[in-house]
Amino acid sequence: MSGATTHGGGATVAPREADAATATNGDLVTVKDLKVHFPITSGIVFQRKVGAVHAVDGISLIVKRGETLGLVGESGCGKSTTGRAILRLEPLTGGHVLYEGADLARLSGRALRRQRRRMQMIFQDPYASLNSRMTVGDIVGEPLLVHKLCPRREREKRTRDLLELVGINPNTLNRYPHEFSGGQRQRIGIARALAVEPNFIVCDEPISALDVSIRAQIINLLQRLQGEFGLTYLFIAHDLSVVRHISDRVAVMYLGRIVELAENSVLYETPMHPYTQALLSAVPIPDPAVEEMRRPIVLKGDVPSPVDPPSGCHFHTRCPAVQEGLCDVNDPALVEVRPAHWAACHLITPGDFPNIRTAENIGPDLGATALRDEGG
């Protein structure tokens, strides 16, 4: 992770040296009980609050240095809002976000802008996330200018190096974004994020808006950059197979809360929370013979509105294993039910696995044609 890395034509975009103080602790980003509620107001002149959209309703997680944490969930479950709130693009209603132990919520103004060097984001929409009135060179060079990272003469060279790093022809830096394709624009966005040499990057569904044939290239690029620069990713997506490919650990969200968090293969092979099991069982298997014999778990009803989430466990209205009197009254806490495997469900006691599903029911190996034996 230390030293300059050369790439292509001698580019020198150096990774950041780890701070001595935090080198001992592997936690890079800690989120404690994060809440983001968007107020709903009514009234013409004087607006009063009549309700709130509970987009994020008490999330705690830890992103370790150098890992990729995947965050999955349905559309509208609050995963993008979580990513944005961690970067302070959304106002926090409650909770804390700690970066290397320092509370970000207390920062403002210049201190916050300085902190922005460490954490960046890759946006979902490659068309809207680039300013259409700026040239590509300006877009990628702006972070260098704002943070005064290099003298003016050197800025063009650094910009060219960055473009080359992500696979864009450096001679195109005087072009405008609309002259590039979606995949190229996403690369430009990645170059912009890398310009400040961050440690932590939130990837907010970076490939959802791209052609399927391009997605692989972008994922490979992200992985290669992670290897070269020792980056830490929070990878937000709703495509389970992509998250499986790229993540070390995966967290599953439902209606503003995390319901399960585990190592990659552990989550996909032995999910414990009923929602995760239903989610994974919904993924079709390419082999028609296997797919015929499978019976996926179908949840009844629709996702409740985040304006008025259900009491107790948010999932209890659709859960096939719901218990009256317990699940609709108390909020389940996210507990460690197995080593390095957290789940938020009243019915799972640590050490006891009554609901564990096997490979036959849920088809854990997405794309596999053979059934596997029952695992741990």
Report the interface residues with other proteins, using CB under 8 A.
45, 84, 87, 89, 113-114, 116-117, 120-121, 123-125, 128-134, 142-143, 146-147, 167-169, 171-172, 174-176, 179-181, 183-184, 189, 192, 196, 213-214, 216-217, 219-220, 223, 227, 245-246
**One-character DSSP codes across 155-186:** HHHHHHHHHHHHT--GGGTTS-GGGS-HHHHH
Q: Residue 251 forms beta bridges with which residues?
A: 71, 261
Structure tokens at 203: 């990837």
Q: Is the CB of 246 or the CB of 267 nearer to other proteins?
A: 246
- 363 and 294 Cβ atoms separated by less than 8 Å: yes
- 13 and 5 Cβ atoms separated by less than 8 Å: yes
Sign for the CA dihedral angle at 144, 147, 150, 151 comes to positive
Q: Is the CB of 193 or the CB of 319 nearer to other proteins?
A: 193
Q: Is the CB of 75 or the CB of 169 nearer to other proteins?
A: 169
Q: Is the CB of 79 or the CB of 346 nearer to other proteins?
A: 79
Q: Closest approach of Cβ 172 to other proteins, in Å?
A: 8
d(CA 278, CA 275) in angstroms, rounded, equals 5
Q: Is the CB of 190 or the CB of 278 nearer to other proteins?
A: 190
Q: Is the CB of 179 or the CB of 336 nearer to other proteins?
A: 179
Structure tokens at 288: 């028609």
Q: Closest approach of Cβ 372 to other proteins, in Å?
A: 18
d(CA 90, CA 53) in angstroms, rounded, equals 13
Q: Closest approach of Cβ 295 to other proteins, in Å?
A: 29
CA 155-158-159 angle, to 5 degrees, is 85
- 218 and 183 Cβ atoms separated by less than 8 Å: yes
Q: Is the CB of 167 or the CB of 296 nearer to other proteins?
A: 167
d(CA 63, CA 83) in angstroms, rounded, equals 12
d(CA 207, CA 261) in angstroms, rounded, equals 23
Q: Closest approach of Cβ 356 to other proteins, in Å?
A: 25
Q: Closest approach of Cβ 218 to other proteins, in Å?
A: 9
Q: Closest approach of Cβ 323 to other proteins, in Å?
A: 39
Q: Is the CB of 121 or the CB of 285 nearer to other proteins?
A: 121
Q: Closest approach of Cβ 128 to other proteins, in Å?
A: 4
- 198 and 161 Cβ atoms separated by less than 8 Å: no
Q: Which of 282, 301, 277 is closest to 356 using CA atoms?
A: 277
H or E, element range at 221: helix 212-229
Q: Is the CB of 227 or the CB of 350 nearer to other proteins?
A: 227
d(CA 134, CA 53) in angstroms, rounded, equals 35
Q: Closest approach of Cβ 179 to other proteins, in Å?
A: 6
Q: Residue 120 forms beta bridges with which residues?
A: 201
Using DSSP's 3-state secondary structure scheme, residue 25 falls into: coil
Q: Closest approach of Cβ 326 to other proteins, in Å?
A: 40
